Structure 1
Amino acid sequence: MAPSRKMKGKARAEPKTEAALPLGKQLSHTAGIPDVELTTGFWMSDKPLVQQALAQDLANLLLLINPAGGDAARLDAALAFLEGFWTALVREWSGIDRLRIDKYYMLIRRYVNATFRLLQREGWNADAVSKVNSILTAMRGPMSWREKSVPTSLATHLADVYLDELEKVMAGAEEPVPLVSVLEPFAQLAANTRTPTVHTRLMSMVFSPILAALKDEEDEDERPAKRARADAQEFENIVENIEVNGEKADKDEAREAVLRAMFKEAAKEDAVESNRRKIYTVVREEGDE
């Protein structure tokens, strides 16, 4: 993934993306921007503050893109940029050395947060959420289970940060989040991955914590061993503002909806049998509590 000498020279200024690009209407063609910034400015940045600022600037482009054509064109351009980011990252991931990997994990976190802010701006529109999910689970998307060459560490890192970033975005939010739809890529991957460590990570970092957070308070002390990460993170902003089937949902309704979604994916014919059994067990045990 290392950039050429010519590109290195251009990158040494470590450009601040918002200042370097005439944003707004001029960002109507964005496909090449993720490639350029991933392989030059961000790759070459070695100072933590510069890395953080550039990562934030790159992620913020999702919300700053504003081509002519109205709201629909604006969303399409933002999603094209997001797809370009993930395409570049999946392609180049194996070339990132251990000294640079942490800053790329940070970049992923920033993009996840910006993606949620984009969806929030769109009112959590079902079509917008579906398109984001399609980008993540595409054949060569970061959460693909169909293409063996896609690095599994991308999916596991997404599992590590997804709820945390959603919790941040939901702070003070007025519109509820369609949680089941937002977590659909994780339900699909948990049912279909052929890598046991990926299944385990998704369950421990996404489903176990959110199911624990959605328990009624009187039930929280019954099974302390299963509370896992929820001890440290209750996800209050998410839990208090969830939508199920177009209506605001309480904890029980949201919890049941998450369990149904997990069961639905596990019940599909193509689901991996070992994953199916594990998910059925979780649904049965959690449903009985």
Structure 2
Amino acid sequence: MGPRVPLPPEIQLAQRLAGNEQVTRDRAVKRLRKYIVARTQRAAGGFTHDELLKVWKGLFYCMWMQDKALLQEELGRTISQLIHAFQTTEAQHLFLQTFWQTMNREWTGIDRLRLDKFYMLMRMVLNESLKALKMQGWEERQAERLLELLTTEILHPDSQAPSGVKSHFLEIFLEELSKVGAAELTADQNLKFIEPFCTIAAQTKDSLVLHNITRGVFETIVEQAPFAIEDLMSELEAPEEEEGTSEDEREEDVPSKEPRRGSLHGAAPDTSEEPAGDGEDSVGPVLQFDYEAVASRLFAAASQQDTPSQNRKRLYKVIRKLQDLAEGLFPEDDVPEKACRNLQEDRRERKTKKRLPKSALQNKAGKGGEEDSCADLSSGAERMARRQGSGAERAGPQEQPGGPAGRGARKRRRRRRPRAGARAKVTDCQDLRMRRRQPPRSGK
């Protein structure tokens, strides 16, 4: 036998990443990071598309074999941060491209119990890819390349992405973008990030993709508009308050040691310790948008001649909401509690009236109404009984036209067969007639 040919390092790492023992998998992940850094530092180095597909095959089954939620989260963070080990932007994009291709290929084989950790892995990889873009200063060219990559591999009609991958990506994209860049991105930059979704929503023939884009991107922007405006106003008011405050005002704000009247044990409740963002109404960081510009861009995409009618109808509803926001009209105004309660009670009463039958509604009219209705019903029943009784007495002695006294009886009488005695009488008469006709014989 000849000497054994050594396997390529990518295949060796993939085999160790998919090993049965956790210690072997952890060591393989650390070696993979060092290998990526060493190989991408060289000018002539870098990975090919097939090599990274093999690496992601091993990383996929490394995540597959991992149990326990905390360890899964730690491993997902480690895998997603491998993008920062690549030294060039082209290598990073190739790493992301092969990741989404691997998820599209392996998605149908994931069982129900392992879906959550791969949902988490997709979220973490998207978050780290946006962080890598943030490190580059949100450069427009790099942002366009990233959006083109995501659109081609996930949302394009020719892509092999399953519906689960598309739906989850559309659900988390705006959320992860707001986590990474809400403090830095401007309204014009945010418009660039959602432009691909405008085009796809107008041209797609998949109703599920249209629904997810409308719900996960555009309607989310509409719902977060009050919080975005509130954040913008607070940012504008912050420098004015800092300039207007003086030392005397700060001294006045110091709480006095004397207890306030009406407070429990003479001390006022301290609410300053509660963070402002921990309430129920807080939604975290929110992106800023120029709603008029978003409506114009969406209208330009939806008004094309080749746009399907159902897409145009759905997008026009969103455009109206965005135009209302641009004019300062919010779609959901706060309703007072009393008015809300009255509306709910009226709706409940209407529903109960619709569900009740007519007899139950008549029973609710009152006791007097019940007695009158019962008397009317009893008198009506008696009248019907009398009519039926009189009709029965009249019809009793009479026979029906089809009975024995009718025409049918006459026909049956005509068709009766003669009796045996009658037949005998007829034959006797015929014999007598024959005898009379015969001449008498001579006595010769």
Taking the aligned partners of 1:110 and 1:161, their CA distance within structure 2 comes to 10
| C-alpha spacing 1:111/1:190, structure 2 compared with 1 (3 Å) | same
- Percent pairwise identity: 28
Contact 2:198 2:301 in 1 (8 A): yes
| C-alpha spacing 1:181/1:48, structure 2 compared with 1 (3 Å) | same
Residue type of the partner of 1:9?
A: G
**Other-structure match for 2:313:** 277
Determine which of 136, 161, 176 is the counterpart of 1:122. 136
Higher helix share: 2
**Other-structure match for 1:228:** none
Contact 2:52 2:95 in 1 (8 A): yes
Determine which of 60, 66, 76 is the counterpart of 1:45. 66
Determine which of 287, 290, 293 is the counterpart of 1:238. 287
Q: How many Å apart are 1:5 and its aligned residue?
A: 9.3
| C-alpha spacing 1:58/1:176, structure 2 compared with 1 (3 Å) | farther
Contact 1:259 1:283 in 2 (8 A): yes
Taking the aligned partners of 2:210 and 2:281, their CA distance within structure 1 comes to 22
Contact 1:42 1:55 in 2 (8 A): yes
Q: How many Å apart are 1:31 and its aligned residue?
A: 2.0
Q: Which has the higher contact order (CA 8 A, sep 6+)?
A: 1
| C-alpha spacing 1:17/1:160, structure 2 compared with 1 (3 Å) | farther
Contact 1:214 1:255 in 2 (8 A): no
CA-to-aligned-CA distance 1:203-258 (integer Å, 9 cap, x gap):
222211213333556xxxxxxxxxxxxx966564422xxxxxxxxxxx5xx22222
| C-alpha spacing 1:8/1:58, structure 2 compared with 1 (3 Å) | closer
SS for the counterpart of 1:100 is helix
Q: How many pairs align?
A: 248
Matches within 5 A, 1:162-173: 162-170=173-181, 173=183
Determine which of 193, 218, 235 is the counterpart of 1:207. 218
Matches within 5 A, 1:81-120: 81-120=95-134
Q: How many Å apart are 1:24 and its aligned residue?
A: 2.3
SS for the counterpart of 2:317 is helix
Contact 1:145 1:192 in 2 (8 A): no
For the pair shown, the structure with the greater C-alpha radius of gyration is: 2
**Other-structure match for 2:430:** none
**Gaps in structure 2 of 5+ consecutive residues:** 1-13, 41-45, 231-279, 330-444
Residue 19, structure 1, aligned to residue 6, structure 2: no
CA-to-aligned-CA distance 1:52-75 (integer Å, 9 cap, x gap):
112111211222211xxxxxxx11
TM-score (structure 2 length as normaliser): 0.51
Taking the aligned partners of 1:275 and 1:287, their CA distance within structure 2 comes to 18
Residue 146, structure 1, aligned to residue 158, structure 2: yes
Contact 2:202 2:311 in 1 (8 A): yes
Q: How many Å apart are 1:145 and its aligned residue?
A: 2.5
| C-alpha spacing 1:45/1:31, structure 2 compared with 1 (3 Å) | same
TM-score (structure 1 length as normaliser): 0.75
Q: How many Å apart are 1:197 and its aligned residue?
A: 2.9
Residue 9, structure 1, aligned to residue 19, structure 2: yes
Residue type of the partner of 2:301?
A: E
Residue type of the partner of 2:202?
A: A
Q: RMSD of aligned C-alpha atoms?
A: 2.8
**Other-structure match for 1:227:** none
Residue type of the partner of 1:165?
A: E
Residue 197, structure 1, aligned to residue 197, structure 2: no
Residue type of the partner of 1:133?
A: L
| C-alpha spacing 1:261/1:235, structure 2 compared with 1 (3 Å) | farther
Contact 2:291 2:322 in 1 (8 A): no
